[in-house]
Structure 1
């Protein structure tokens, strides 16, 4: 029986990547353009057409209000959070509140949820894999930042469902990178995975021994990445331009998008050059018609100065993670750099200075996460692959207790899957119900932690305060998804939930989005079929016209009549090229093929 193939997807902030294991060898799959990564950008054109990836990125300058980038920074977040406010100030697209205290993005008058936006990127990765595999992949392992909370993981799973993917496992990005690093090698080492991507930073410490990948500790910042480094360059350029011309380019949508593109390009170039030139002619036109140009240079030293505090934030998180794992610097055998930002020489230097050793360059910073996801996917369905992944939960989990306190039931960095229970008692006389408020975080004050969900356990027997015992049990799956149950130990009455944060989509919304996605795929496939037949008609027209040229000097009445009929067939075909009706296009192609065959016969006889 053929073993099920599971694709691995790195759903990135800036770029996404898909991989698969074939004959025991992991391989990153290139997209139609030949690139191994695809921009995580979605756009809706004026005609309502959906664009994803490179096509969306190309038109971002002229369609910035309806082009979404870095959406991963918003997924699973609640409306009103500091991160959402920051994005509202810096992103050109409209960010609006959703019906569940969640975040929505408004494009061309329609509101899209963040899982829906992410599903479009996952769908694109699925199509890339489908073209390579020759069949539609149904199962996938998808990666998320290690420091993603339950809401963000749930939202990512929802995105997978909308895209038509069965996400069999969600794994942390640095853990996936460690699988790529250790796959097929005999390694016995303690390693640090320093993962700085487009939107997030993670640090994970692992022990790798004989195919067992045991995460000891993980931490991170889900709002620290390449986007923030770009922002420092943008602010620098905008400040200097405002000083010279009294114009704030950040208030002009098109100018801001051009600044953003220039900043990203400059950042990349400064990884291999000491200085780069930034030239943006006609970046702004004043009311009197005077055109203003931005022409400047940016040095690597200046960029490092602008981003110094961002780099130090990552080092401080590394320090805290080592302390959490009770490890010393000397205990780390190898440091692996993952994520596009780790190409920055200053980051490499700071990591080397902190850990006291040069980082390993044995994994590709852009591809390692997708490869690791594919390896995990293969291992789940192949008994012969001797890989055991022991990941951890990045946040403590517990419930709110009387007085507004937070009682931890599962500590951060506990190996998953795991479960833990605790017995609580009623706090009021004759209390017949209790609200279980499930939270995630590290503060002893409940209000400072993340609300995951809540439910009511009712039907308790009337009794003095403290007499009725309630057992609360937490379970965390291998995906990091939380389930909670509460049981009245006297009566056996039980209530439970799979925690779905208040910002998650309803089942009805998800089903509607799945249907809309299926409609989009049908339109997409029909569009591809139309283009295939258009290309065939155009080629046939060229073939007929070449034959017509051969008969141009012939005085034969037969040749003249054939040329006239062929010309009529070509004229009808040219008119039909504008049609969007597939059946009509197929009929036109067939008729043109017959005309070509007949004309060839005339040419051969002439």
Structure 2
């Protein structure tokens, strides 16, 4: 008997496969689909009419997790356990965000390394991937509730400037949320699709996408030809957005009422309340001339002219970025055919006016700027589902391709569904001092451990000159040609030593085997991510132990017996945890060892600097 699905929400016949478009935003996130009746993209809305889910996660008692508007309400009452702007942390190390760490009311973990940043909530540590997966799970759950059908496949958007690690982190978050991420597409491409730009294969246009959201700004210059979107250039500021407009209003009020810095530091609730009131004021001034409110006996007021004067330098900065993007693209203002406005902050009348004047064009701003990216993702999802035969999709890789790294982990270089031909390179290094050869093992699959994936090839890059661990730079390149042949090349940059191998990545796999590998990756995603996190923590611990012991051995004369004893005690505790500890226990002990070693490491650095300034040679100890 054939089964026919009916969408209870719309009364329409339900297609077998529902692929949704997701805008995973810095401030808000949402889901969109192509409506089965109108064949137009629509954002999924709750019964209260809202489509936006605040990208905020709150951790409560007994490990309870709250996402969205309910979490947003806890920003004031429980700031230390309420995580926001996770997208800014994706694919970043602490060193990448160090200068802006004070932006966060919660604890961003400084592990003094280049490894991916973590957020500490009580004794627990969370990666941006895990935090983003909680938001995606909530989006998926809401979509299933509204559509009354399972949602397992999605197109997710990212900023055009996201690098490979940030895109991979977004994919991982989707997989952890139980989603098969069919495609990661650039936000400006999605916004253009939402306005129907590029759907006509005959048109050739240059488009400027001005995207000013809550937390970030970017301007992208796109060229469309034969239905293919090419990002010519992108420029912007990951710390410029509506949040900054809020902060300007807050600073105005703080100055007017002489609220001291110490009071703000000690009263996080007041700080968050001021920030939320400022956000309300900003929205209010998009259509009104003055905002008046109060917090207790603190009277709050700001006029639209005051607001415009405050934000003018920031808007000028965005227009400067537009100039740079045009120059990088090799275009002039008059070469731009369309200007698309994206992001809630573009509702500000002054911004619309100045951007229109800058390009000398009327703006595409009729669609909801908060929803336009998700709507475009839905258009792309519809194409992937095969419902739009007018657009050609280039051949793609059916499964991810990568190499084995420390701990038996799979490091993906080419994610599945990447258009081919394509080329990707990434740098690696040695694990041991004096290592003369590195084994390059190539795998295909979606699991986090290589043992669960399919091995395609393996070869040894030999002849690496003897160097300390971490010094050799080995560039591994994957090139897939138009015939689907994978060429893997490994080259040690300093010595020029090189080795290549040719692989056929799709050989011997049937469609059902590919499907099974994909399904296994989704079913085991939660365990896989936990295993990867634990393996990475163990690897980090082992490397820190080796580095610290080496440091002590070379610099013992400069350390007190107490410092050496404390360090050895912490090292032994960490070593014991490697075999039986949890990820969070390992992270906690790693931080403890870092805290013990940091003071004397800094002291020795000061000695080295003093010697250098004095014109003396610095000992090999440093």
- TM bin, normalised by shorter chain, reads 0.5 to 0.7
Match of 1:109 in 2: 123
Measured in 1, the distance between the counterparts of 2:271 and 2:49 equals 29
Deviation at 1:40, TM superposition (A): 0.8
Any stretches of 5+ residues in structure 1 without a counterpart?
Answer: 282-292, 391-414, 423-429, 437-454, 463-469, 499-507, 517-606
Match of 2:109 in 1: 96
Determine whether 1:162 maps to 2:176: yes
Determine whether 1:307 maps to 2:343: no
Mean CA deviation greater in 303-312 or 209-218: 209-218
DSSP-derived class of the 1:361 partner: coil
Residue 55 of structure 1, aligned match among 70, 79, 99: 70
RMSD over equivalenced CA pairs, Å? 3.9
Deviation at 1:295, TM superposition (A): 0.4
1:242 touches 1:248 (CA, 8 Å); kept in 2?
no
Mean CA deviation greater in 214-223 or 30-39: 214-223
Query: 4+ residue stretches of structure 1 with deviation over 6 A?
Result: 487-491
Match of 1:591 in 2: none
Deviation at 1:457, TM superposition (A): 6.0
Question: Cα–Cα, structure 1 residues 61 and 416, in superposed 2: closer, same or farther, change >3 Å?
Answer: farther
Measured in 2, the distance between the counterparts of 1:29 and 1:461 equals 55
Cα deviation digits, residues 476-502 of structure 1 (max 9, x gap): 99xxxx997326999955599x9xxxx
Question: Cα–Cα, structure 1 residues 236 and 177, in superposed 2: closer, same or farther, change >3 Å?
Answer: same
Match of 1:552 in 2: none
Any stretches of 5+ residues in structure 2 without a counterpart?
Answer: 3-14, 395-418, 427-433, 441-457, 466-473, 506-523, 533-622
Q: What are the residue-to-residue correspondences of 1:66-465 with 2, within 5 Å?
A: 66-81=81-96, 83-86=97-100, 88-97=101-110, 101-182=115-196, 186=200, 188-208=204-224, 211-242=227-258, 248-281=263-296, 293-382=297-386, 384-387=388-391, 418-419=422-423, 433=437, 458-460=461-463
Measured in 2, the distance between the counterparts of 1:461 and 1:336 equals 51
Match of 1:539 in 2: none
Question: Cα–Cα, structure 1 residues 70 and 358, in superposed 2: closer, same or farther, change >3 Å?
Answer: same
DSSP-derived class of the 1:182 partner: coil
Normalised by the length of structure 2, the TM-score is 0.62
Normalised by the length of structure 1, the TM-score is 0.64
1:241 touches 1:247 (CA, 8 Å); kept in 2?
no
DSSP-derived class of the 2:63 partner: coil
Question: Cα–Cα, structure 1 residues 247 and 93, in superposed 2: closer, same or farther, change >3 Å?
Answer: closer
Question: Cα–Cα, structure 1 residues 484 and 10, in superposed 2: closer, same or farther, change >3 Å?
Answer: farther
Match of 1:9 in 2: 22
DSSP-derived class of the 1:123 partner: helix
Measured in 2, the distance between the counterparts of 1:476 and 1:268 equals 48
Match of 1:37 in 2: 52
2:489 touches 2:499 (CA, 8 Å); kept in 1?
no
DSSP-derived class of the 1:61 partner: helix
Measured in 2, the distance between the counterparts of 1:421 and 1:80 equals 23
Measured in 2, the distance between the counterparts of 1:311 and 1:456 equals 53
Measured in 2, the distance between the counterparts of 1:205 and 1:476 equals 27
Size of the aligned set, in residue pairs, is: 434
Match of 2:12 in 1: none
Q: Which has the higher contact order (CA 8 A, sep 6+)?
A: 1
